[in-house]
Amino acid sequence: MKDIYYENSAGIRLNLLAPPYLLQTGEIFDTNWNYDYINLRSGGSRITTFRKDLEERSLTLSIINYGHEEFEAAVDRFHDVTEYDVLHGSPGRLYVGDMYMRCYFITSKKSEWEPDASYLDNDVTLAAEYPMWIREEENQYRKAISNQSVAEYLDYPFDYPFDFLGGVAGVGYINNAGDAACHFRMLVYGPCMNPRIIIANHAYEVATKLDVGEYMIIDSRDGSVNRIRNNGSAVDEFDNRNKKVSIFEKIPKGGSLVSWDGSFGFDIVIFYERGEPKWN
């Protein structure tokens, strides 16, 4: 059995397969696609788009009674950890293995709660705004030392019809091993000015300045661009993005060239998505 646990938006984790919490059953491995369609003049219909809408899922969790104080503390802890996300408007993550779905726990119905019962059954409902299961893969790109140094380690599985050393100081490679283009989170580290990253000939560019210790987050899922200052506060840089092309363009399927001026480092986290968590 894979690990199944919940991690709230503050990073506090509840193992749902280890006492005192034991997950009995739930709609974890179910999936559902919504769709739009048009009626055809000749009869019948044609589906035009598939989409994921907000969904509610049910789980049954037993909380074992190891003693009065421990039992009550376990019940309270589950409530406090899950309600934190609701109170702060920030979803937690339900993990199955290395995949997670962002969600909120919104209802809790308890039975067998008498003090002398050996366990309590807690029927809970979670709400997922985007009910897809996600696995993250991080790709790191560091400052380029020199064009010659870059050239010495380049060994890609295919050829490019141009010279890497034509003024490009930073060169890398990214591989989206999924079945379709993927959402991403990009973290750009200062110091740098007007960072510009090109992936598969598509530019991701923001007209801003990052000081030492600052970083910028571009998240295609949320459609957000934020610069994080040294004191932890966030500055919205959305209006400073290059508006000629979409800065939220998904990472294309397969292998792609990554290039930048080499003056800064950055990470790209690919979000692989599935309608249900992987069994294998």
**pLDDT at res. 114:** 74
Q: Are 271 and 98 in contact (CB under 8 A)?
A: no
How far is it, in rounded angstroms, from Cα 206 to Cα 36?
A: 35
**Residue 223, both tokens:** 């459609």
pLDDT number for residue 113: 77
Q: What is the pLDDT of residue 67?
A: 87
Q: Where in the chain is the domain with CATH 2.40.30.200?
A: 4-131
Q: Is residue 67 left, alpha or beta, with left meaning phi > 0 and alpha meaning psi from -120 to 50?
A: left
Low-confidence residues in the chain, pLDDT < 70: 1, 145-168
Asked if residue 145 lies in contact with residue 278, where contact means CB atoms within 8 angstroms, the answer is no
The pLDDT score that the predictor gives to residue 151 is: 45
Domain with CATH 2.60.120.880 in the chain: 135-274
pLDDT of residue 147: 47
Residue 31 has what pLDDT?
93
Contact (Cβ atoms closer than 8 angstroms) between residue 223 and residue 209: no
Evaluate whether the domain defined by 135-274 bears CATH number 2.40.50.100. no
Architecture of domain 4-131: Beta Barrel (2.40)
pLDDT of residue 7: 98
Write down the pTM of the prediction. 0.85
Q: What are the angstrom distances between the C-alpha of 133 and each of 24, 88, 201?
A: 20, 22, 29
